[in-house]
Structure 1
């Protein structure tokens, strides 16, 4: 069982290709609600949302909402982009827009979930933000400072005082800054000192995954040569730009195989593979299983 201090990240690859022929993974504003987001942010207790759903939240995603869960007591089994995790509270979980997530809470689990539209904090949460540490899901220990912030946000959210929206945004910005610092501190020193263009490449990869951009297109967007982009990627990860593009594309394929009923061929086409056989071979080479087997293994799990 992972403790919160065992920092982990999941990549954030969005699924929105219009070429897929089935309804994609459910996209909600708040879970189970389809109305537009009504406020500068939203905060509620875990009990308020989960108790009425038998403490289980089915896998879904939020297209334009960033969520931060502060869990104080209880137990949580979760799935983040199809990867199961079980964590022991207290912990803080950050989930960027687009990440598929589901939960099974132990009855009586306590904590809060803070939901912040990307447009509320574009300098921290948008794809073009100069910082990218919040662009991936991550778990951190809970601090007294963070707990106090959540309590203040809950109180301010319930109030009708002057400048309420401004105060809520200021408090949410503090949460984002503290989470970013915690995530950054948990990264190896080498990762923190990497070329800033690698973070820009990651942002572009999230934005243009479905456009089937090649290394040349990403290099052009970054005003570098393809060879230099690969050097940047290799310095940061030990892998070439082409390998990272392929891995990101096939991770999205994994999501679609698990969370949609789209055919293997249509998933491949939607991710830029013109030949279903080539897509299947690439998937097996990178993931280690054929697409149909990958889907079947999750269906029977």
Structure 2
């Protein structure tokens, strides 16, 4: 049985419907003002987002980390990353939302940009990227003839300019091993509660356990089992930070039937008990 994800997964901010358009563009004012300038932590399963923040102040929560943004700022948020924002009233800028399946040339696994656009990052917003954002926003709102072709071209330009700002260490070759790791990540998310063994994951990937470890060693410098454990406790940290689930509920969700054992394992992995971790995250 699939357990509902306690961290909201939205098509757009607060919306659960399929995408009604090729992409979405809106101002920060139009969206954030409806929510008292706070966007609660959430994730997008199949969408990537580009934020061009030009004036005001903003703070971002992403994957359990608090980030104060120095504006003007460019923020790239890939699919799956848990994120939220607190904006000062009147903060200016745009957010461009791109369905990954609509832009495989830029966001697909075979894209030359894929390695650069696989992780979230923050960078200064330069004039060329700000201009590319405005081109997308203008084409999105104008409804001119050949709109889709123009939007695709503008989005392609924007993605290329955003990718140029990605940290160099994220520009790893998106090889067959990287694609195996993507699939391994997806399987881990699906089967956390079932506590699959490495042999189960390897079989689902049509690999041997030894081949799977070669993949994780090449991509992340650790064995397949160590990588699995790291992903389990990464999800535990996210649930502690972004939900009010009890420690025992989180442990059960992640396949630990004994809350005491989960707490010991969490402390061994992070150096803190689950309760202490949550207190530290919640501390001002």
- How much does 1:222 deviate? 5.3
| Aligned residue number for residue 148 of structure 1 | 131
Kindly indicate whether the alpha-carbon contact (under 8 Å) linking 1:211 and 1:272 is maintained by their aligned counterparts in 2. no
Q: So what's the TM-score if we normalise by structure 1?
A: 0.80
CA contact (8 A) 2:184 2:205 kept: no
CA-based RMSD of the aligned residues comes to: 2.8
CA distance in 2, matches of 1:145, 1:261: 42
Query: Taking structure 2 as the reference length, what is the TM-score of the superposition?
Result: 0.84
Q: Which moved more, 1:167-176 or 1:65-74?
A: 167-176
Q: State whether structure 2 residue 225 is matched by structure 1 residue 242.
A: yes
1:205/1:245 contact within 8 Å kept? no
Q: Deviations over 1:3-44 (max 9, x none)?
A: xxxxxxxxxxxxxx8336xx7123333323444432111111
Counterparts in 2 of 1:122 and 1:156: CA distance versus 1, 3 Å: same
Aligned residues: 278
Q: Find the partner of 1:51 among 33, 39, 46.
A: 33
Counterpart of 2:179 (choices 196, 200, 208) is: 200
2:2 is equivalent to residue 18 of structure 1: yes
Q: Is 1:41 matched with 2:23? A: yes
Change (3 A) 1:266 1:55: closer
Residue segments in structure 2 that go unaligned for 5+ positions in a row: none
Q: CA deviation at 1:84?
A: 0.2
Question: What corresponds to 1:71 in structure 2?
Answer: 53
**Post-superposition offset of 1:83:** 0.9
2:178·2:219 contact (CA, 8 Å) conserved in 1? no
The alpha-carbon deviation at position 289 of structure 1 amounts to: 1.4
Report the equivalent of 2:279: 296
- How far apart in 2 are the matches of 1:125 and 1:220? 27
* Residues 74, 88 of structure 1: 8 Å contact kept: no
Match of 1:105 in 2: 87
Higher relative contact order (CA 8 A, sep 6+): 1
Query: Which residue of the other structure, out of 161, 167, 175, is the alignment partner of 1:178?
Result: 161
- List structure 1 runs of 4+ shifted beyond 6 angstroms: none
Q: Tell me if 1:122 matches 2:109.
A: no
